[in-house]
Structure 1
Amino acid sequence: MSDPQEPSVVPGLTRPIVFARRGRLAEAVVEHLTMAIVTEVYPAGTSLPTEAVLCEMYKVSRTVIREVSTTLAEKGLIVSQQGRGTIVQDKSHWNLLDSIVLRALFHRDDGISYLDNLIEIRLLLECAMAAKAAARISDDDIERMKSMLGNMEKLRGDPAAYSRADVELHNFIMAVSGNELGRAIINGIQGQALTSREYNGRPTPTDITQTHRAHEAIVAAICRRDSAEAAREMRHHIEISWHHRRTGEKPADAPPA
Protein backbone atom coordinates (compact mmCIF):
# COMPACT_ATOMS: atom_id res chain seq x y z
CA MET A 1 0.00 0.00 0.00
CA SER A 2 1.25 3.48 -0.75
CA ASP A 3 2.28 5.99 1.87
CA PRO A 4 -0.96 7.07 3.62
CA GLN A 5 0.29 10.64 3.73
CA GLU A 6 -0.03 10.85 -0.06
CA PRO A 7 -2.96 13.13 -1.02
CA SER A 8 -5.89 11.62 -2.88
CA VAL A 9 -8.26 13.63 -5.02
CA VAL A 10 -11.94 12.99 -5.59
CA PRO A 11 -12.89 14.13 -9.09
CA GLY A 12 -14.78 17.41 -8.93
CA LEU A 13 -13.36 18.41 -5.55
CA THR A 14 -10.77 21.14 -5.73
CA ARG A 15 -8.85 20.32 -2.57
CA PRO A 16 -7.02 17.00 -2.03
CA ILE A 17 -7.27 15.19 1.26
CA VAL A 18 -4.17 14.17 3.18
CA PHE A 19 -4.66 11.21 5.48
CA ALA A 20 -3.10 11.07 8.93
CA ARG A 21 -1.04 8.16 10.23
CA ARG A 22 -3.23 7.63 13.29
CA GLY A 23 -5.57 4.87 12.20
CA ARG A 24 -8.04 7.38 10.80
CA LEU A 25 -7.93 6.16 7.22
CA ALA A 26 -11.54 4.97 7.15
CA GLU A 27 -12.80 8.13 8.91
CA ALA A 28 -10.91 10.37 6.49
CA VAL A 29 -12.30 8.56 3.45
CA VAL A 30 -15.82 8.68 4.92
CA GLU A 31 -15.54 12.45 5.42
CA HIS A 32 -14.20 12.98 1.91
CA LEU A 33 -16.75 10.80 0.16
CA THR A 34 -19.58 12.26 2.25
CA MET A 35 -18.56 15.73 1.09
CA ALA A 36 -18.43 14.48 -2.52
CA ILE A 37 -21.88 12.89 -2.30
CA VAL A 38 -23.61 15.71 -0.44
CA THR A 39 -22.14 18.41 -2.69
CA GLU A 40 -23.26 16.33 -5.70
CA VAL A 41 -19.90 15.48 -7.17
CA TYR A 42 -21.69 12.12 -7.22
CA PRO A 43 -25.37 13.02 -7.78
CA ALA A 44 -28.28 10.91 -6.56
CA GLY A 45 -28.85 7.86 -8.73
CA THR A 46 -25.27 7.65 -9.99
CA SER A 47 -22.76 4.96 -9.08
CA LEU A 48 -19.72 5.46 -6.92
CA PRO A 49 -16.43 4.29 -8.43
CA THR A 50 -15.78 0.59 -8.01
CA GLU A 51 -14.07 -0.77 -4.94
CA ALA A 52 -10.84 -1.23 -6.88
CA VAL A 53 -10.92 2.36 -8.17
CA LEU A 54 -11.60 3.73 -4.69
CA CYS A 55 -8.70 1.71 -3.29
CA GLU A 56 -6.41 3.27 -5.88
CA MET A 57 -7.92 6.75 -5.50
CA TYR A 58 -7.40 6.83 -1.73
CA LYS A 59 -4.38 4.49 -1.55
CA VAL A 60 -6.09 2.27 1.02
CA SER A 61 -6.97 -1.42 1.29
CA ARG A 62 -10.22 -3.12 0.29
CA THR A 63 -10.90 -3.65 4.00
CA VAL A 64 -10.90 0.11 4.56
CA ILE A 65 -13.17 0.74 1.57
CA ARG A 66 -15.64 -1.90 2.75
CA GLU A 67 -15.71 -0.28 6.19
CA VAL A 68 -16.30 3.09 4.52
CA SER A 69 -19.14 1.69 2.41
CA THR A 70 -20.85 0.31 5.51
CA THR A 71 -20.61 3.68 7.26
CA LEU A 72 -21.92 5.61 4.23
CA ALA A 73 -24.84 3.20 3.97
CA GLU A 74 -25.64 3.75 7.67
CA LYS A 75 -25.80 7.48 6.98
CA GLY A 76 -28.32 6.79 4.21
CA LEU A 77 -25.97 8.09 1.52
CA ILE A 78 -25.54 4.94 -0.57
CA VAL A 79 -27.15 1.60 -1.26
CA SER A 80 -25.80 -1.52 -2.96
CA GLN A 81 -27.87 -2.76 -5.89
CA GLN A 82 -27.38 -6.07 -7.64
CA GLY A 83 -25.87 -5.51 -11.06
CA ARG A 84 -25.51 -1.74 -10.60
CA GLY A 85 -22.93 -1.43 -7.86
CA THR A 86 -23.02 1.21 -5.15
CA ILE A 87 -25.68 3.83 -5.88
CA VAL A 88 -25.96 7.29 -4.33
CA GLN A 89 -29.27 7.68 -2.52
CA ASP A 90 -31.66 10.58 -2.91
CA LYS A 91 -31.35 13.29 -0.22
CA SER A 92 -34.62 12.12 1.34
CA HIS A 93 -32.74 9.05 2.62
CA TRP A 94 -29.81 10.94 4.18
CA ASN A 95 -29.40 11.32 7.93
CA LEU A 96 -29.36 15.11 7.90
CA LEU A 97 -28.51 15.29 11.62
CA ASP A 98 -25.34 13.25 11.20
CA SER A 99 -22.45 15.59 12.01
CA ILE A 100 -20.45 14.80 8.85
CA VAL A 101 -23.50 15.09 6.59
CA LEU A 102 -24.48 18.36 8.27
CA ARG A 103 -21.03 19.85 7.76
CA ALA A 104 -21.17 18.95 4.09
CA LEU A 105 -24.69 20.37 3.68
CA PHE A 106 -23.48 23.79 4.77
CA HIS A 107 -20.82 23.66 2.04
CA ARG A 108 -23.19 22.90 -0.84
CA ASP A 109 -23.88 25.52 -3.50
CA ASP A 110 -27.30 25.93 -1.84
CA GLY A 111 -25.83 25.71 1.66
CA ILE A 112 -27.32 29.09 2.55
CA SER A 113 -30.80 27.53 2.53
CA TYR A 114 -29.70 25.07 5.23
CA LEU A 115 -28.30 27.95 7.25
CA ASP A 116 -31.71 29.61 6.91
CA ASN A 117 -33.22 26.40 8.30
CA LEU A 118 -30.87 26.59 11.27
CA ILE A 119 -31.95 30.16 11.99
CA GLU A 120 -35.60 29.07 11.90
CA ILE A 121 -34.78 26.33 14.43
CA ARG A 122 -32.91 28.78 16.64
CA LEU A 123 -35.83 31.20 16.56
CA LEU A 124 -38.27 28.47 17.53
CA LEU A 125 -36.15 27.06 20.35
CA GLU A 126 -33.81 29.76 21.64
CA CYS A 127 -36.49 32.40 22.13
CA ALA A 128 -38.54 29.95 24.19
CA MET A 129 -35.45 28.93 26.14
CA ALA A 130 -34.55 32.57 26.85
CA ALA A 131 -38.06 33.06 28.26
CA LYS A 132 -37.75 29.93 30.37
CA ALA A 133 -34.29 30.94 31.56
CA ALA A 134 -35.70 34.27 32.74
CA ALA A 135 -38.39 32.46 34.70
CA ARG A 136 -36.10 30.03 36.49
CA ILE A 137 -32.67 31.70 36.73
CA SER A 138 -31.04 31.73 40.18
CA ASP A 139 -29.23 34.65 41.76
CA ASP A 140 -25.94 32.78 41.37
CA ASP A 141 -26.58 32.24 37.66
CA ILE A 142 -27.43 35.91 37.24
CA GLU A 143 -24.03 36.83 38.65
CA ARG A 144 -22.31 34.29 36.43
CA MET A 145 -24.12 35.56 33.35
CA LYS A 146 -23.19 39.17 34.18
CA SER A 147 -19.57 38.07 34.57
CA MET A 148 -19.66 36.41 31.14
CA LEU A 149 -21.07 39.59 29.62
CA GLY A 150 -18.38 41.67 31.32
CA ASN A 151 -15.69 39.40 29.89
CA MET A 152 -17.24 39.76 26.43
CA GLU A 153 -16.97 43.54 26.76
CA LYS A 154 -13.20 43.13 27.16
CA LEU A 155 -13.04 40.90 24.05
CA ARG A 156 -14.72 43.33 21.67
CA GLY A 157 -11.41 44.08 19.96
CA ASP A 158 -10.84 40.39 19.18
CA PRO A 159 -13.56 39.11 16.80
CA ALA A 160 -12.54 35.44 17.06
CA ALA A 161 -12.45 35.45 20.86
CA TYR A 162 -15.70 37.41 21.03
CA SER A 163 -17.37 34.89 18.73
CA ARG A 164 -16.36 32.02 21.02
CA ALA A 165 -17.65 33.90 24.07
CA ASP A 166 -20.87 34.65 22.16
CA VAL A 167 -21.49 30.92 21.64
CA GLU A 168 -20.72 30.25 25.33
CA LEU A 169 -23.22 32.89 26.48
CA HIS A 170 -26.00 31.47 24.32
CA ASN A 171 -25.14 27.98 25.54
CA PHE A 172 -25.30 29.16 29.17
CA ILE A 173 -28.75 30.70 28.66
CA MET A 174 -29.97 27.47 27.08
CA ALA A 175 -28.52 25.46 29.98
CA VAL A 176 -30.28 27.71 32.53
CA SER A 177 -33.56 27.08 30.71
CA GLY A 178 -33.29 23.39 31.54
CA ASN A 179 -34.25 22.37 27.98
CA GLU A 180 -31.44 19.89 27.45
CA LEU A 181 -32.91 18.42 24.28
CA GLY A 182 -33.36 21.84 22.68
CA ARG A 183 -29.80 22.79 23.64
CA ALA A 184 -28.46 19.55 22.15
CA ILE A 185 -30.35 20.12 18.87
CA ILE A 186 -29.06 23.67 18.45
CA ASN A 187 -25.49 22.90 19.50
CA GLY A 188 -25.37 19.81 17.31
CA ILE A 189 -26.45 21.68 14.19
CA GLN A 190 -24.73 24.98 14.93
CA GLY A 191 -21.48 23.21 15.77
CA GLN A 192 -21.23 22.17 12.12
CA ALA A 193 -22.55 25.48 10.77
CA LEU A 194 -19.66 27.25 12.49
CA THR A 195 -17.36 25.68 9.88
CA SER A 196 -19.16 27.74 7.23
CA ARG A 197 -17.82 31.17 6.33
CA GLU A 198 -21.34 32.30 5.42
CA TYR A 199 -22.59 31.54 8.94
CA ASN A 200 -19.70 33.22 10.74
CA GLY A 201 -19.41 36.27 8.49
CA ARG A 202 -16.55 38.71 8.88
CA PRO A 203 -17.56 40.89 11.84
CA THR A 204 -16.21 44.43 11.97
CA PRO A 205 -15.80 46.44 15.20
CA THR A 206 -19.15 48.09 14.39
CA ASP A 207 -20.78 44.67 14.01
CA ILE A 208 -19.43 43.55 17.37
CA THR A 209 -20.66 46.75 19.02
CA GLN A 210 -24.16 46.07 17.69
CA THR A 211 -24.02 42.43 18.73
CA HIS A 212 -22.83 43.35 22.20
CA ARG A 213 -25.72 45.78 22.63
CA ALA A 214 -28.09 42.94 21.76
CA HIS A 215 -26.44 40.66 24.30
CA GLU A 216 -26.75 43.36 26.96
CA ALA A 217 -30.47 43.66 26.23
CA ILE A 218 -30.98 39.88 26.44
CA VAL A 219 -29.04 39.59 29.69
CA ALA A 220 -30.85 42.58 31.21
CA ALA A 221 -34.25 41.06 30.43
CA ILE A 222 -33.27 37.70 31.91
CA CYS A 223 -31.81 39.37 35.01
CA ARG A 224 -35.15 41.19 35.48
CA ARG A 225 -36.79 37.78 35.11
CA ASP A 226 -38.93 39.24 32.31
CA SER A 227 -39.67 36.18 30.16
CA ALA A 228 -41.61 38.00 27.43
CA GLU A 229 -38.91 40.64 26.98
CA ALA A 230 -36.12 38.01 27.03
CA ALA A 231 -37.83 36.15 24.20
CA ARG A 232 -38.35 39.37 22.21
CA GLU A 233 -34.74 40.47 22.62
CA MET A 234 -33.44 37.04 21.64
CA ARG A 235 -35.62 37.01 18.52
CA HIS A 236 -34.50 40.51 17.54
CA HIS A 237 -30.84 39.56 18.05
CA ILE A 238 -30.98 36.34 16.02
CA GLU A 239 -33.01 37.87 13.18
CA ILE A 240 -30.94 41.05 12.85
CA SER A 241 -27.59 39.27 13.14
CA TRP A 242 -28.45 36.69 10.50
CA HIS A 243 -29.95 39.27 8.13
CA HIS A 244 -26.72 41.25 8.34
CA ARG A 245 -24.47 38.22 7.79
CA ARG A 246 -26.67 36.89 5.00
CA THR A 247 -27.08 40.10 3.04
CA GLY A 248 -24.21 42.28 4.18
CA GLU A 249 -26.71 45.04 4.98
CA LYS A 250 -26.14 47.07 8.11
CA PRO A 251 -29.01 46.80 10.64
CA ALA A 252 -31.22 49.87 10.62
CA ASP A 253 -30.40 50.65 14.26
CA ALA A 254 -26.65 50.14 13.91
CA PRO A 255 -24.40 53.00 15.00
CA PRO A 256 -22.60 54.93 12.24
CA ALA A 257 -19.35 53.37 11.06
Structure 2
Amino acid sequence: MHSTPAIGGEVLQPQRNRPPLAAAVVKSLATAIVVGEYKPGSALPPVGELCEQYGVSRTVIREATTALVEKGLVLSRQGWGTMVLDQEHWNLLDPLVLQGLFQRKDRLFYLDNLIEIRANLECAMAARAAGQLDEAQRSALKAKLDELAELKDDPAAYMRVDLEFHELIHRASRDAFGRAIVANIQGKALHTPQYSGDPTRDDIEHAHEGHARILEALLDGDADWAAAAMRKHITSSWKRRRPREEPATD
Protein backbone atom coordinates (compact mmCIF):
# COMPACT_ATOMS: atom_id res chain seq x y z
CA MET A 1 0.00 0.00 0.00
CA HIS A 2 1.15 3.58 -0.58
CA SER A 3 -0.26 7.10 -0.52
CA THR A 4 -0.31 8.68 -3.94
CA PRO A 5 0.88 12.32 -3.84
CA ALA A 6 -1.42 15.17 -4.76
CA ILE A 7 -1.43 16.03 -8.44
CA GLY A 8 -3.17 19.19 -9.62
CA GLY A 9 -5.02 19.55 -6.32
CA GLU A 10 -6.25 15.97 -6.30
CA VAL A 11 -5.49 13.80 -3.29
CA LEU A 12 -5.67 10.13 -4.15
CA GLN A 13 -6.44 7.45 -1.61
CA PRO A 14 -3.84 4.88 -0.57
CA GLN A 15 -3.82 2.00 -3.02
CA ARG A 16 -1.74 -0.95 -4.10
CA ASN A 17 0.89 -0.71 -6.77
CA ARG A 18 -0.44 -2.70 -9.71
CA PRO A 19 1.24 -3.69 -12.96
CA PRO A 20 0.41 -1.26 -15.80
CA LEU A 21 -1.64 -3.86 -17.69
CA ALA A 22 -3.78 -4.64 -14.65
CA ALA A 23 -4.23 -0.92 -13.90
CA ALA A 24 -5.43 -0.31 -17.46
CA VAL A 25 -7.95 -3.15 -17.23
CA VAL A 26 -9.17 -1.89 -13.85
CA LYS A 27 -9.72 1.61 -15.25
CA SER A 28 -11.62 0.30 -18.28
CA LEU A 29 -13.85 -2.06 -16.32
CA ALA A 30 -14.47 0.40 -13.47
CA THR A 31 -15.58 3.06 -15.93
CA ALA A 32 -17.81 0.57 -17.80
CA ILE A 33 -19.49 -0.43 -14.54
CA VAL A 34 -20.01 3.10 -13.22
CA VAL A 35 -21.42 4.48 -16.48
CA GLY A 36 -23.81 1.53 -16.68
CA GLU A 37 -22.42 -0.66 -19.43
CA TYR A 38 -22.60 -3.50 -16.92
CA LYS A 39 -25.80 -3.33 -14.87
CA PRO A 40 -26.04 -4.17 -11.14
CA GLY A 41 -26.78 -7.86 -10.69
CA SER A 42 -25.24 -8.80 -14.03
CA ALA A 43 -22.03 -10.77 -14.39
CA LEU A 44 -18.82 -9.56 -15.96
CA PRO A 45 -17.72 -11.61 -18.97
CA PRO A 46 -15.86 -14.85 -18.10
CA VAL A 47 -12.14 -14.60 -17.42
CA GLY A 48 -11.25 -16.17 -20.74
CA GLU A 49 -13.36 -13.68 -22.64
CA LEU A 50 -11.82 -10.76 -20.74
CA CYS A 51 -8.34 -12.12 -21.45
CA GLU A 52 -9.13 -12.10 -25.15
CA GLN A 53 -10.82 -8.69 -25.03
CA TYR A 54 -7.88 -6.99 -23.35
CA GLY A 55 -5.09 -9.18 -24.68
CA VAL A 56 -3.79 -10.03 -21.22
CA SER A 57 -3.20 -13.12 -19.09
CA ARG A 58 -5.54 -14.68 -16.56
CA THR A 59 -3.24 -13.40 -13.82
CA VAL A 60 -3.83 -9.81 -14.97
CA ILE A 61 -7.60 -10.32 -15.00
CA ARG A 62 -7.51 -11.82 -11.50
CA GLU A 63 -5.50 -8.84 -10.27
CA ALA A 64 -7.95 -6.44 -11.92
CA THR A 65 -10.91 -8.28 -10.40
CA THR A 66 -9.35 -7.96 -6.95
CA ALA A 67 -9.07 -4.20 -7.47
CA LEU A 68 -12.73 -3.95 -8.51
CA VAL A 69 -13.73 -5.87 -5.38
CA GLU A 70 -11.72 -3.40 -3.26
CA LYS A 71 -13.64 -0.52 -4.84
CA GLY A 72 -16.97 -2.15 -4.00
CA LEU A 73 -17.88 -2.47 -7.69
CA VAL A 74 -18.10 -6.24 -7.91
CA LEU A 75 -18.38 -9.38 -5.81
CA SER A 76 -16.49 -12.45 -6.90
CA ARG A 77 -17.73 -15.88 -5.81
CA GLN A 78 -16.55 -19.32 -6.77
CA GLY A 79 -19.08 -20.86 -9.12
CA TRP A 80 -21.03 -17.62 -9.51
CA GLY A 81 -18.55 -15.53 -11.45
CA THR A 82 -17.95 -11.82 -10.87
CA MET A 83 -21.20 -9.99 -10.17
CA VAL A 84 -21.67 -6.22 -10.50
CA LEU A 85 -22.85 -4.62 -7.27
CA ASP A 86 -25.39 -1.85 -6.77
CA GLN A 87 -24.12 1.70 -6.34
CA GLU A 88 -24.76 1.64 -2.60
CA HIS A 89 -21.74 -0.66 -2.30
CA TRP A 90 -19.36 1.50 -4.36
CA ASN A 91 -16.56 3.50 -2.80
CA LEU A 92 -17.75 6.83 -4.17
CA LEU A 93 -14.56 8.63 -3.12
CA ASP A 94 -12.37 6.25 -5.10
CA PRO A 95 -10.70 8.26 -7.92
CA LEU A 96 -11.79 5.85 -10.68
CA VAL A 97 -15.36 5.69 -9.39
CA LEU A 98 -15.50 9.50 -9.25
CA GLN A 99 -14.10 9.72 -12.74
CA GLY A 100 -16.83 7.40 -13.98
CA LEU A 101 -19.61 9.29 -12.19
CA PHE A 102 -18.57 12.50 -13.91
CA GLN A 103 -18.82 10.74 -17.29
CA ARG A 104 -22.40 9.57 -16.81
CA LYS A 105 -25.40 11.12 -18.55
CA ASP A 106 -26.71 12.18 -15.13
CA ARG A 107 -23.37 13.76 -14.21
CA LEU A 108 -25.02 17.08 -13.33
CA PHE A 109 -26.75 15.41 -10.39
CA TYR A 110 -23.35 14.47 -8.99
CA LEU A 111 -21.82 17.84 -9.83
CA ASP A 112 -24.66 19.60 -7.98
CA ASN A 113 -23.98 17.31 -5.03
CA LEU A 114 -20.28 18.15 -5.25
CA ILE A 115 -21.05 21.88 -5.07
CA GLU A 116 -23.20 21.29 -1.99
CA ILE A 117 -20.41 19.35 -0.29
CA ARG A 118 -17.81 21.94 -1.33
CA ALA A 119 -19.92 24.78 0.03
CA ASN A 120 -20.48 23.10 3.38
CA LEU A 121 -16.85 22.10 3.88
CA GLU A 122 -15.29 25.30 2.54
CA CYS A 123 -17.62 27.49 4.60
CA ALA A 124 -16.48 25.67 7.71
CA MET A 125 -12.83 25.97 6.66
CA ALA A 126 -13.19 29.69 5.94
CA ALA A 127 -14.78 30.24 9.36
CA ARG A 128 -11.94 28.38 11.08
CA ALA A 129 -9.28 30.19 9.09
CA ALA A 130 -10.77 33.59 9.96
CA GLY A 131 -9.97 33.09 13.60
CA GLN A 132 -6.40 31.89 13.29
CA LEU A 133 -4.59 33.55 10.39
CA ASP A 134 -0.99 34.45 11.15
CA GLU A 135 0.86 37.29 9.44
CA ALA A 136 2.46 35.04 6.84
CA GLN A 137 -0.92 33.60 5.86
CA ARG A 138 -2.50 37.05 5.69
CA SER A 139 0.29 38.26 3.43
CA ALA A 140 0.06 35.16 1.23
CA LEU A 141 -3.69 35.59 0.73
CA LYS A 142 -3.37 39.28 -0.12
CA ALA A 143 -0.59 38.50 -2.59
CA LYS A 144 -2.67 35.75 -4.18
CA LEU A 145 -5.65 38.09 -4.63
CA ASP A 146 -3.33 40.63 -6.28
CA GLU A 147 -2.06 37.87 -8.56
CA LEU A 148 -5.63 36.97 -9.49
CA ALA A 149 -6.38 40.60 -10.32
CA GLU A 150 -3.59 40.54 -12.90
CA LEU A 151 -5.05 37.46 -14.60
CA LYS A 152 -8.59 38.61 -15.36
CA ASP A 153 -7.90 38.54 -19.10
CA ASP A 154 -6.56 34.98 -18.95
CA PRO A 155 -9.41 32.73 -17.74
CA ALA A 156 -7.35 29.53 -17.75
CA ALA A 157 -4.60 31.08 -15.64
CA TYR A 158 -7.16 32.75 -13.37
CA MET A 159 -8.87 29.42 -12.69
CA ARG A 160 -5.54 27.79 -11.85
CA VAL A 161 -4.62 30.51 -9.35
CA ASP A 162 -8.22 30.49 -8.08
CA LEU A 163 -7.56 26.94 -6.83
CA GLU A 164 -4.37 28.14 -5.14
CA PHE A 165 -6.31 30.91 -3.36
CA HIS A 166 -8.77 28.38 -1.97
CA GLU A 167 -5.94 26.01 -1.04
CA LEU A 168 -4.34 28.74 1.09
CA ILE A 169 -7.61 29.03 3.02
CA HIS A 170 -7.87 25.26 3.38
CA ARG A 171 -4.36 25.07 4.81
CA ALA A 172 -4.96 27.99 7.15
CA SER A 173 -8.04 26.25 8.55
CA ARG A 174 -5.95 23.21 9.55
CA ASP A 175 -8.92 21.05 8.59
CA ALA A 176 -7.00 18.11 7.12
CA PHE A 177 -10.06 15.94 6.46
CA GLY A 178 -12.10 18.69 4.84
CA ARG A 179 -9.18 19.67 2.66
CA ALA A 180 -8.57 16.09 1.56
CA ILE A 181 -12.23 15.47 0.70
CA VAL A 182 -12.61 18.67 -1.32
CA ALA A 183 -9.33 18.08 -3.17
CA ASN A 184 -10.24 14.50 -4.02
CA ILE A 185 -13.74 15.03 -5.35
CA GLN A 186 -12.95 18.33 -7.05
CA GLY A 187 -9.78 16.92 -8.60
CA LYS A 188 -11.79 14.66 -10.91
CA ALA A 189 -14.58 17.18 -11.51
CA LEU A 190 -12.08 19.74 -12.82
CA HIS A 191 -11.62 17.55 -15.90
CA THR A 192 -15.36 17.67 -16.59
CA PRO A 193 -16.36 20.51 -18.98
CA GLN A 194 -19.73 20.88 -17.25
CA TYR A 195 -17.93 21.68 -13.97
CA SER A 196 -15.16 23.97 -15.18
CA GLY A 197 -17.21 25.57 -17.93
CA ASP A 198 -15.87 28.20 -20.30
CA PRO A 199 -15.80 31.36 -18.17
CA THR A 200 -16.41 34.77 -19.70
CA ARG A 201 -14.82 38.02 -18.54
CA ASP A 202 -18.03 38.75 -16.62
CA ASP A 203 -17.74 35.36 -14.90
CA ILE A 204 -14.15 36.15 -13.91
CA GLU A 205 -15.15 39.59 -12.58
CA HIS A 206 -17.94 37.98 -10.56
CA ALA A 207 -15.57 35.38 -9.13
CA HIS A 208 -13.00 38.04 -8.28
CA GLU A 209 -15.52 40.10 -6.36
CA GLY A 210 -16.33 36.96 -4.39
CA HIS A 211 -12.67 36.33 -3.63
CA ALA A 212 -12.25 39.91 -2.46
CA ARG A 213 -15.21 39.62 -0.07
CA ILE A 214 -13.87 36.35 1.33
CA LEU A 215 -10.45 37.89 1.92
CA GLU A 216 -11.92 40.96 3.58
CA ALA A 217 -13.87 38.77 5.98
CA LEU A 218 -10.83 36.62 6.71
CA LEU A 219 -8.61 39.61 7.42
CA ASP A 220 -11.32 41.07 9.64
CA GLY A 221 -11.39 37.82 11.62
CA ASP A 222 -15.17 37.50 11.19
CA ALA A 223 -15.93 33.77 11.01
CA ASP A 224 -19.64 34.15 10.20
CA TRP A 225 -18.98 36.65 7.44
CA ALA A 226 -16.19 34.50 6.00
CA ALA A 227 -18.48 31.46 5.89
CA ALA A 228 -21.32 33.43 4.30
CA ALA A 229 -18.99 35.00 1.71
CA MET A 230 -17.57 31.61 0.81
CA ARG A 231 -21.01 30.05 0.39
CA LYS A 232 -22.22 32.89 -1.82
CA HIS A 233 -19.06 32.69 -3.94
CA ILE A 234 -19.25 28.93 -4.52
CA THR A 235 -23.00 28.69 -5.13
CA SER A 236 -23.34 31.79 -7.29
CA SER A 237 -20.31 30.89 -9.42
CA TRP A 238 -21.79 27.43 -10.04
CA LYS A 239 -25.18 28.93 -10.88
CA ARG A 240 -23.52 31.07 -13.55
CA ARG A 241 -21.66 28.23 -15.25
CA ARG A 242 -24.00 25.27 -14.68
CA PRO A 243 -25.45 24.01 -17.97
CA ARG A 244 -29.21 24.34 -18.17
CA GLU A 245 -29.40 20.95 -19.82
CA GLU A 246 -27.03 18.27 -21.00
CA PRO A 247 -26.15 18.29 -24.69
CA ALA A 248 -27.50 15.38 -26.70
CA THR A 249 -25.21 12.35 -26.73
CA ASP A 250 -25.13 9.30 -28.94
CA distance in 2, matches of 1:152, 1:86: 50
Q: Does 1:192 align with 2:192?
A: no
Matched, 1:145 2:141: yes
| Cα RMSD, aligned residues only | 1.6
Alignment match, 1:165: 161
Query: How many angstroms apart in 1 are the aligned matches of 2:86 and 2:117?
Result: 24
Structure 2 CA distance for aligned equivalents of residues 110 and 81 of structure 1: 31
Give me the TM-score of the superposition, normalised by structure 2: 0.87
Structure 1 counterpart of 2:191, which letter?
T
Per-residue deviation, 1:84: 3.2
Return the alpha-carbon distance in structure 1 between the equivalents of residues 186 and 20 of structure 2. 25
Q: Deviations over 1:107-140 (max 9, x none)?
A: 1111111111111111211111111111111122
Rounded Cα–Cα distance in structure 2 between residues aligned with 1:106 and 1:233: 27
1:26-79 C-alpha deviation (Å, 9 max, x unpaired): 111111111000000011111111111111111111111110001001111111
- In structure 1, C-alpha distance between the alignment counterparts of 2:184 and 2:78, rounded to whole Å: 36
Counterpart-to-counterpart distance in 1, 2:156 and 2:237 = 16
Task: Report what 2:60 is aligned to.
Answer: 64
| SS across alignment from 2:228 | helix
Return the match for 1:207 from 199, 203, 206.
203
Give the whole-Å Cα distance in 2 for the aligned partners of 1:205 and 1:26. 44
Cα distance change on mapping 1:23 and 1:73 into 2, 3 Å:
closer
Match of 2:218 among 222, 235, 251: 222
Instruction: Find the counterpart in structure 2 of residue 5 from structure 1.
Output: none
Deviation at 1:81, TM superposition (A): 3.4
Aligned-residue identity in percent = 50
Aligned: 1:97 with 2:90: no
Q: CA deviation at 1:186?
A: 0.9
Cα separation, 2, equivalents of 1:171 and 1:114 = 22
| Equivalent pair of 2:71/2:90 in contact (CA under 8 Å) | yes
Report Cα offsets for 1:137-179 as digits up to 9, x if no partner: 1122111111111111122222221111111111110110111
Q: Corresponding residue for 1:74?
A: 70
What is the count of residue pairs matched by the alignment? 228
Unaligned segments of structure 1, at least 5 residues: 1-21, 249-257
Shift of 1:83: 3.6
Q: 1:84 aligns to what? A: 80
How far, CA to CA, are the matches of 1:156 and 1:103 in structure 2? 30
Question: What amino acid is aligned across from residue 170 of structure 1 in structure 2?
Answer: H
Question: Counterpart amino acid of 2:199?
Answer: P
Q: Does 1:175 align with 2:168?
A: no
Tell me how far apart the structure 1 counterparts of residues 127 and 136 of structure 2 sit (CA, whole Å).
18
Amino acid at match of 2:197: G
Q: Secondary structure at the match of 1:136?
A: coil
Match of 1:10 in 2: none
Q: Is the 8 A contact 2:120 2:231 kept in 1?
A: no
- Give the distance between the partners of 2:39 and 2:209, measured in 1 at CA: 45
The equivalent of 2:235 in structure 1 is 239
Displacement of 1:247? 4.0
Distance in 1 (CA, whole Å) between partners of 2:168 and 2:140 is 9
Structure 2 gaps of 5+ residues are 1-17, 245-250
Q: Distance in 2 between matches of 1:23 and 1:95?
A: 22
Counterpart for residue 125 of structure 1:
121
8 A contact 2:194–2:243 mirrored in 1? no
Q: Determine if contact 2:108/2:194 at 8 Å carries over to the other structure.
A: yes
* Cα distance in 2 for residues equivalent to 1:51 and 1:63: 10
